Amino acid sequence: MKRFRIAASPLWGFALAAVIVSHCLAQASPAQESAKPKLRVENADAVGPRPLEKETSDKVARFYLDAWKSLHTAFAENRPEALDNSFTGIAREKLATAIRDQQALGIKTSYHDQSHDLKFAFYSSEGLSVQVLDTVDYDLQVVDHGQVVGLRHIRSCYVAVLTPTEVRWKVRVFQADSEARPEPSVE
């Protein structure tokens, strides 16, 4: 099996991470599809000028994990519009661009998130944004024109800012830590 190098460019890393999310889950086995990622949420008592109520933190965490599912669908099916339910603003634009880049390159990625370690970092005084730090473990499989060219386990940190809409919280900022390094490939 060929080894696939993950580019060091922050933009490519962001695009690749987004591409990864969808396709890996699309090709996951039935056992993987039914398995939900482990979730740990750090106590959110002191995250900003406004207290973050338990009900709000639970909803934000749920909608954030739903956003990862939307990524999966969007990239697995090469449908940027699948992002609309969970993403807005710059996050949606960058992910949609990554989907179009994936289509142009003939690359597909498979993603299976195993765990999320969430920490609420900030809750604005007016209640219009919540910043979440997420240390996520996932497996990434890259397929180039139908050929599997790599499989890696990755542990990465993401920064996300969510904002409330009429009926749900949407991810407005979604960025991987550029210092994240993939673990050795699995062959």
Output the pLDDT for position 163: 97
Q: Can you give the residue ranges of every domain in the chain?
A: 10-177
Output the pLDDT for position 175: 94
Output the pLDDT for position 179: 53
pTM of the model: 0.76
Output the pLDDT for position 161: 97
Q: Average pLDDT of each block of 10 consecutive residues along the chain (187 residues)?
A: 40 44 41 71 79 91 93 82 96 95 84 89 93 90 81 93 95 81 49
Output the pLDDT for position 90: 97
Own/partner long-range contacts of 174-179 (Cβ < 8 Å, ≥24 apart): 174/18, 174/67, 174/87, 174/91, 174/94, 174/95, 175/14, 176/10, 176/13, 176/14, 176/17, 178/10, 178/13
Of the CATH numbers 3.10.450.50, 3.40.50.300, 3.40.190.10, 3.40.50.2300, which one belongs to the domain with range 10-177?
3.10.450.50
